[in-house]
Structure 1
C-alpha cells in the first residue's frame, strides 16, 4: 500500500527504496523459515492474496525463493495454519508488539493453550530477537505442544 501511494505521488525513488527494503525483509523471513522451521512444510504468499487464501482459492498465489508466483506450488493438505510476521495486538492489554502470530485459515488468531505467537522483543530493546531466533522459538514451541498432545 505504501509503495502504491508513493508511486501515485510520483515519488518513484522512494517507492523503489521501500520496495527493495520489503523484498530484503521477505527474503530474510523466507531464509529464517527455510533454515530454522522443521515442524511442517511452509509456503509463502503476499498479503494481497489473503482473500484468495481465505476462500481456499490457492492456485497461483504461492511464491518461490525468488519471490515469484510459482504455479507448481500446491500444498498437500487443507489443514493449514497462517503465520504473519508483523505486529501482534493483545486486546486484553490494548497493546501490540512485533513478532510472529499463528492464525487459522480464516486468519483468526489462535488462542491458548496453543503456542500462537512469538514476540520479537526482550526485556532490553537492544537485545530484540532476530528473525531466525523468532522462527526457531516458534518451531520449538509448536513441536513441544504437539509432543504434549500426543502423550
Structure 2
C-alpha cells in the first residue's frame, strides 16, 4: 500500500461524500486498494463516526432509487441489499418506509402491459405470453401473488 491510513481515510471520505456507500462497498475498496486488514475496523469506525457511512441511510436511498427510478420490486431490492451484508431489520425498515404499495402495484401494472406488448409477437400462444410476462415481472422483483393478480386482470381484457 502506497498511501498512509490518513490518506486512505480522506480518499474514502471524498468517495462517500459523492454518493451513499454501504459498509461492504467501502470494505471492497479497502481490499482493492490493498489496505492492511488490521486497519479496516479503525477506518470503518472513523467513517461511521463522521457519518460518511451509514447502512441504514444507504438502504433507504438504495430502496428509493431502485423502486422509483429502476422500477424494481421489493424482493429484488431486498436480495441486492442482503448481498451487500445489510442487516435484515434495516432492509425490512427501508422497504416499509420507502416503497408505497399502491405505487408499486401501479409500476407493476405498467410493466406488465409493456412486457405483454413486447412479447406478444414472440409468444406461441396466450399461455406462453403469460409465462414470459410472469418471468419478466418476477425478475424485476415483484411479489408472485401480485404478479398473478395483475396478470389475471390484464389477460381478461385481451
Q: Shared fold (TM-score greater than 0.5)?
A: no
Higher helix content, 1 or 2: 2
Higher strand content, 1 or 2: 1
Name the TM tier (shorter chain). under 0.3
Rg bigger for which structure?
2
